[in-house]
Structure formats: structure tokens, C-alpha cells
Structure 1
Amino acid sequence: MDRFHAMEVAVIVLSYSSGHDCEGALTWAARAAIARDVPLAVVSVAGLPSMLGDANYAAPLPAEMFTESAQAIAEEGAAKARELGVKDVTAHGTTGDTARAVVEFSKDAELVVVGSRGRGQLLSALLGSVSYEITAHAHCPVVVIRRGADIGARNGQAVVVGLDGSEGSQDAVDFAAGVAVRSKGKLTLVTVWRDPIADGLMPVDYSHGDTLLQDIKKQAAETLQRAAATLRETYPDLSVDTVLVEGLPADALLKAADGADLIVTGSRGRGGFGGLLLGSVSHGVLHHAKSAVAIVR
């Protein structure tokens, strides 16, 4: 890792393993590095036998062999990135816990890109336990590319982002706008408002219910339009659409993002507990999205 941490410029980290599961992530990371004009670091981590839960090793292989294997896989990914047009790419093979290693790399990175192949019934398994851990703990935005996800064309990316007025969601909007601008694509801002009476947060017979709902919807609409106006002023050539809808945030965001190339959400929005590393909206989007997903913190 010393060579990586010696870099003095922003870098994109790709968590790479050999196989089809990471090809979409590799392509996405390569495009991002080219668009941002920053180096790409291809990282591959090999687990040691004890970490793999194999108690049948009579004669454990030297750790160096696992490091060499990881380095070879990283070099394979780096070679493919160069074929895709990335000029400044380095390969980093190491051993240990994959999620922890990538999170360590993320301390000095602008962005982490990771593939996912999870198949289980639990959220962490559906996403892939490594990908889930990285999104929960990384020190920079993380883009997750699910196996089979359509990452779209290099140009004209359709980007959808959730906005709830929180600081975290504003960071997500800034990230989403950057992706859309660099790809000469379009951006859709989605704000979801909720009925507190229907949610059980207010009594059903609350006398000012209608006025309350009007105020909530009005506040949400104003937040949405202010953000859109700021983006249109900052990026005059960017196509910015808005969607205001009542419902469950994750469901509404996924519906609005049908056919999009990238969904962007903050790691936690309003109402998020400090102890939760990923909020409920991030959970829901990661769980069900068919496109690439960016978690911004």
C-alpha cells in the first residue's frame, strides 16, 4: 500500500477480482478515471487460508504466494483498464480481509468502485458481504455495480439522485451532477414527502391535518426547486428534471430511476441514527436497484 499512499493526487480505487462479476465495475471505474482525469488504482485482495475458514491445510502455503496471486489478478485488471483507455493505472495486490483493505485504500481515494455478486436472502448477502461492508465503512463515495447491471454508454448517462434537504443528500446531488455533467447526460432530482398521519406519527383525528400535509408538500417542493435552480445556474448545459412524490423514499427513488444508468443516494438522510452506517433508503436502493448505485458520504 505504500506506493498507493505516496500518490499526491486524487485516485479511483477499483476492488477487482478475476471473473465476469467485476467486468462491469472495471468498465465503470475506467470511464470514471478518464472522465475525471485521475489515476486508477486496481486493488485485489487475497484471503489467507485461515481467513477462508479452511482448517484442513496440513502445510499452509507461504503468505507471499497469496500476495503474488493477488498482484497478478490486479495486474490483469490494470491491463484491461489500459485497453479501455486509462493512461495512469497501477496494480496493488495484498492479503487480508478484502473489505478492510479496500476501506483502508479509500482513505486516500476520490472514489471506490466495487462489483457485487451476492445471492443470499439477507441484505448483506444479496448485495455481497464484501460490497456491503465497503459501502458501510468507506471514507469516500462508493459505486456498486451489480452483476448483470446495465452501466449504459460512456456518454449521455441518465443519473437519478434522492434529495431530502439534508447535508448528506446535498453531497449526493453534487456527486450526481458531476457524473451527469462529465458524461454530457441528464440529471433527475427526486424528493419524496410523507404523510405523518398515515405513518402513525400524528393522531388520525389531528384537526390541522390538511394544513400540515400542504405545508409538508410545499416545503418539499421548495427544497426541490431551489436545488434544481442552483444546478441549472451552475451547469447551464445540464438537463435537470425534478420529481416530487409521496411515498416510501427507497421505493419512490427506485421507481423514478427505472431505466437510469446510475442511482445516487446519501449514506444517511433525515431521521438517520448516527450509529447506523447505512440508512434505510441506502439499504433499500442497494437491495433492489438494477442499475449502478452510488452511496455518497
Structure 2
Amino acid sequence: MKVSVGYDGSDQSKLALSWAAEYALASQAVLRIVHAWIWPMFTHDVGPVKGVADSGLRHAAEAILSEGVEVARGIAPDLEIEPRMVAGLPSDVLRRESLDADLLVVGSRGLGGFLGKLVGSVSVGLAATCPASVVVVRAAREEGKPVIACVDGHLRSSKVLEQAVSAAQTLQTKLRIVHVDPPMPAWGRHSPSQFHGRDVLRNAMLHVQGLDPGLAVSEELLSGHSVSAVLVDAGADAELLVLGARRREGHPGTLASVLTHAHCNVMIAR
């Protein structure tokens, strides 16, 4: 297994790196630390300043990456680490560097300060387009908090459940399955059966029990006019909220809203 994590030295990326290192250690995975080096896109003068030791943009980038490796080593001294410094915009670099990874971990805000405004929302963009599953880290790891799998009854829900089970096993915590029933439609429009939500949850429970019969798992039927608001509330006490990349819970607008407002870490399962 391989876990990739974006690191730029910001507080958000340090939080993401710590979470990724702990997860990689627990899952016996290789940790790839990726620093997207943006300055070669703007200038060729990246080398040291003549007569000034340890200067230049290249040296600064190498120092950031080395710092990331040291942070990871402090968490897990025996962890296998692949440091990577790649020129390019963070979203493009991280997307390419996650092609052979099982999981990509990023901070909730991407690059900070001026560069953050320049490149836009890295985490939201990657959550919508990255080929690998993505975890957007907003909070440090806390023992005892559950993993929450958000299912909608479509085929993509099986991927959500499989990765939620794997995450719960890795984090050694319980799993909660939730489904959000849509509000009642306007008169004359198609309305799903009143038992639809319960059927979705029952099928999800059966799927999870087939994956890991011994896993502690519960189910909850939720409702509300805003799916994203309901999911944000559901994740208030969670370690990880797992969403699909498609369908209602995975709609781009829903993903962006959950990633913006969630208090917990969010996984986009693929």
C-alpha cells in the first residue's frame, strides 16, 4: 500500500502529514511526501545567490521537503518514506503523484498566504478530480471517534463501504453507516418508497458484515433539505466522513460544501 501526502510547510500540511504518517504506519504502507515546487514556473533563477550560503529557491524547497521527512520520522522512525520534490502547480503535481497511490492526503486549505490565493483551492479540486481516494485533513487523530460511511443506494456506495471498512480497521475504531433521505418532492413528482432509506441501510449493513463480520457497526437514517448540511452535522463527532465521488452525496456542489464546512476529516472514495 502507498499513501501520498502533500507538504508545503504550512500548519495545514503539517497536520495532514501527521495524519498520513500515522495512517501509513497503522496500515504498513509506504509514505510518499510530495512537495510541489512552484517557482520554476515563474523564474529560472532558482539557484543559490552568489556568496550567500544555503540560499536560493531550490535550497528553500529542499529544506521544506527535508523538514517534512523529519516530521514523519518523528512520528514513525521505521516508516518507509519516499520524498518527492516536483516542479508544477500543487493540484497538478499531487494528482500525478497519486496515480500509483492507494490514498492521497492533503490539508484542508492547500498552500497558505499568497500562493494559496494564486493556485486556488487545491483540496476541493483534488477531491473532485483525483484518480485516487483523497483524504482532506481538518483535525488531528483522536482515539475512539468513528468512521462514518455515507451511502445513497447506488453502485458507488459499495466503494464507499469498502474503503470505510478499511479505514475503520486501520484506525481501530467503529463504523457508522448513514443515509440521507431526500425531502418530500412537490405534488405529482416521483416519490421513493417510504422504506427506501431503510432498505439502503439494510443492504449496506449486509455488505459490511460480508467484508468484516467482527467490525462494530451501526446505522442511522437521516433527513433534511440540504444533504451537505446533514452530512456536516453527522460528522461533528467523527474521525473520518467517507463520501462517494458520484451521485447525490458525491455531487460536486455537495463535496465542496462538505469540505468547506466539515469539522472532521473527509475521505472521497474511489
Specify the alignment match of 2:266 in structure 1: 293
Matched residue type, 1:189: I
Contact 2:105-2:137 within 8 A present in 1 as well: yes
Q: 2: CA distance between counterparts of 1:289 and 1:271? A: 14
Partner of 1:105: 97
Deviation at 1:28, TM superposition (A): 0.9
Within the candidate set 183, 205, 209, 2:171 is matched to: 183
Please say if 1:238 is aligned against 2:215.
Answer: yes
Once the two structures are TM-superposed, the CA of residue 49 in structure 1 deviates from its matched residue by 6.3
SS of alignment partner, residue 165 of structure 1: coil
Query: Where do residues 207-246 of structure 1 align in structure 2 (5 Å cutoff)?
Result: 215-246=192-223
2: distance between equivalents of 1:137 and 1:233? 30
Q: Is the 8 A contact 1:151 1:262 kept in 2?
A: no
Deviation (angstroms), 1:67 = 4.2
1:2-151 alignment runs, 5 A limit: 10-48=1-39, 51=42, 61-62=45-46, 65-85=56-76, 86-117=78-109, 129-146=121-138, 149-151=139-141
Name the SS for the 2:222 alignment partner. Answer: strand
Between the aligned partners of 1:144 and 1:255, the Cα distance in structure 2 is 17
Q: How does 1:149-160 map to 2 (within 5 A)?
A: 149-153=139-143, 156-160=144-148
Structure 1 stretches of 4+ moved >6 Å? none
Q: CA deviation at 1:195?
A: 3.5
Give aligned pairs, total.
256
In structure 1, what residue type is equivalent to 2:219? T
TM-score, structure 2 length as denominator? 0.84
Q: TM-score, normalised by structure 1?
A: 0.77
What's the % identity of the aligned pairs?
29
What's the offset of the Cα at 1:119? Answer: 11
Change (3 A) 1:34 1:40: same
Contact 1:268 1:282 in 2 (8 A): no
Partners of 2:162 and 2:211 within 8 A in 1? no
Q: Provide the secondary structure at the position in 2 that maps to 1:102.
A: helix
The CA deviation at 1:151 is 3.0
271 and 130 in structure 1: CA distance in 2 versus 1, 3 angstrom threshold: closer
CA contact (8 A) 1:193 1:245 kept: yes
Residues 162, 63 of structure 1: alpha-carbon distance in 2 compared, 3 angstrom cutoff: farther
Gaps of 5+ in 2: 49-55
SS of residue in 2 equivalent to 1:257:
helix
Unaligned runs of 5+ in 1: 1-9, 52-56, 273-277
1:101 partner SS: helix
SS of 1:216's equivalent in the other structure is coil
Amino acid at match of 2:265: A
Q: Distance in 1 between matches of 2:175 and 2:249?
A: 25
CA distance in 2: counterparts of 1:173 and 1:79, whole angstroms: 34
Counterpart of 1:171?
Answer: 159
Give the superposed CA RMSD: 2.7
- Indicate conservation of the 8 Å contact 1:193/1:217, yes or no: no
The answer on whether the counterparts of 2:243 and 2:249 sit within 8 Å (CA) in structure 1 is no
Give secondary structure in 2 for the equivalent of 1:44: strand
**3-state DSSP of counterpart to 1:114:** strand
Cα pair 1:68 1:93 within 8 Å, conserved: no
Change (3 A) 1:63 1:237: farther
CA offsets, 1:66-109, max 9 Å, x none?
A: 44432331221112111111520121112211110110011111
Matched letter for residue 267 of structure 1: A
Alpha-carbon distance, 1:223 to partner: 1.5
